[in-house]
Amino acid sequence: MFTKKSLENVFNGDIIGKEIIFFDSISSTNDKAFEIGRKRGNSEGIVIIADTQTKGRGRLGRSWISPPGVNLYFTILLKPTLPQEEISILPLIISVAVVNAVRNNTGLKAAIKWPNDILMNGRKTGGILMEMKSAGGKITLLAVGIGINVNMHEDMVPEDIRPFTTSLSVEADRPVDRAGLLGEVLAEMEKTYKILLNGDKRALINEWHGLNSTIGKKVAVRCQDRVISGIAEGINDRGGLIVRLPEGEFETVNAGDVTMLHN
């Protein structure tokens, strides 16, 4: 069971994890992070974690199922000094840190589905929701929310998403220590974030390429009110997905949901 004490020292980096704030139950760790970030002068690196969320949010307006006692739901506050146009690549880069942490901690071969879904054997086991506050064209606060299905049993998952959802314990066939995995994710985040701040975005994009399961595949991308089908050719510097359409031209999608199509 998570306790305030057991989490306080799970990872204390130069930037990430200088303070870890635990709640048994809150609406969403992203909301709590903004609330705390607004009150604190220097909030970069603070981690807010909850055992359960009553209104966990996913990408594209979806909800994120957040039962107690089994998974990881946490948000890291960042104030990157990066130009705003570079911020869109950040969730992809964070997915590199999460996948590396899962691989190191469990030995499971987790992969990334564009843009930042964490998959095991084609099923979702984690996701990232980055939200931001800005003023006068400048980002004042970034909340990087990470959800990882760690020890969630299949019967805790609503039936409609059960075929597409899994957890690390289901895949590994053994329980996974949540606090140990959290420490590993924060350590990888610190490493990755420092590389980004040092200007080596290219190395991280290359690493994303090495860990992703989307590029080179035939895909359908649902974006806003339409679906684009074609071959996923690569990503651009802002993390957009470049799709080669059947007629040969290219289209770049900035946000959407990918389904793999079988030939």
By CB under 6 A, how many residues form the interface with ligand BTN? 20
Query: Is the CB of 71 or the CB of 106 nearer to ligand BTN?
Result: 71
Q: Which of 11, 34, 64, 208 binds ligand BTN (CB under 6 A)?
A: 64
C-beta nearest to ligand BTN: residue: 127
Strand arrangement, sheet containing 257-260: 250-253, 241-244, 226-235, 218-223, 257-260
| Window 95 to 134, contacts with ligand BTN (CB under 6 A) | 117, 127-129
Contacts of 41 (CB under 8 A, 6+ apart): none
Question: For residue 240, which of 62, 98, 86, 10 has the smallest C-alpha distance?
Answer: 86
- Provide the mask over 12-31, with x wherever binding to ligand BTN is found by CB under 6 A and - wherever it is not: ----------------xxx-
For residues 247 and 16, give the distance between their C-alpha atoms in angstroms, rounded to a whole number: 46
Indicate the residue among 75 and 167 with the shorter CB distance to ligand BTN. 75
Write down the least CB distance from residue 173 to ligand BTN, Å: 24
| 59 contributes a contact to ligand BTN by CB under 6 A | yes
Choose the binding region for ligand BTN from 54-62, 150-158, 164-172, 228-236 (rule: CB under 6 A).
Answer: 54-62
User: Which range of residues in 39-47, 57-65, 80-88, 231-239 is near ligand BTN by CB under 6 A?
Assistant: 57-65
**Smallest distance, ligand BTN to C-beta of residue 5, A:** 22
From the number of C-beta atoms within 10 Å of its C-beta (0-12, 13-18, 19+), residue 231 rates as middle
Q: Rounded CA gap, 94 and 168, in Å? A: 18
- Interaction of residue 2 with ligand BTN, rule CB under 6 A: no
183 backbone dihedrals φ, ψ, rounded to 5°: -60, -40
Compare residues 41 and 126 and give the one whose CB is closer to ligand BTN. 126
* Calpha distance 147→207 (Å, rounded): 21
- Kindly tell me which residue out of 17, 37, 145, 256 binds ligand BTN, with binding defined by CB under 6 A: 145
Contact mark string toward ligand BTN, 150..169, x via CB under 6 A: --------------------
Does residue 73 interact with ligand BTN by CB under 6 A? yes
Check if the beta carbon of residue 76 is closer than 8 Å to that of residue 16.
yes
Classify residue 39 by burial, with Cβ atoms within 10 Å: 0-12, 13-18, 19+.
exposed
Q: Are 69 and 50 in contact, with CB atoms under 8 Å apart?
A: no
Least distance from ligand BTN to the Cβ atom of residue 41, Å = 23
The backbone torsions φ and ψ at residue 108, rounded to the nearest 5 degrees and listed phi first, read -75, 145
* Distance of closest approach, residue 247 Cβ to ligand BTN, in angstroms: 31
Omega of the bond leading into 67 within 30 degrees of 0 (cis): no
Does residue 56 interact with ligand BTN by CB under 6 A? yes
Question: ∠226-228-234 over CA atoms, to 5°?
Answer: 135
Residues that bind ligand BTN (CB under 6 A): 28-30, 53, 56-59, 62, 64, 73-75, 117, 127-129, 145-147
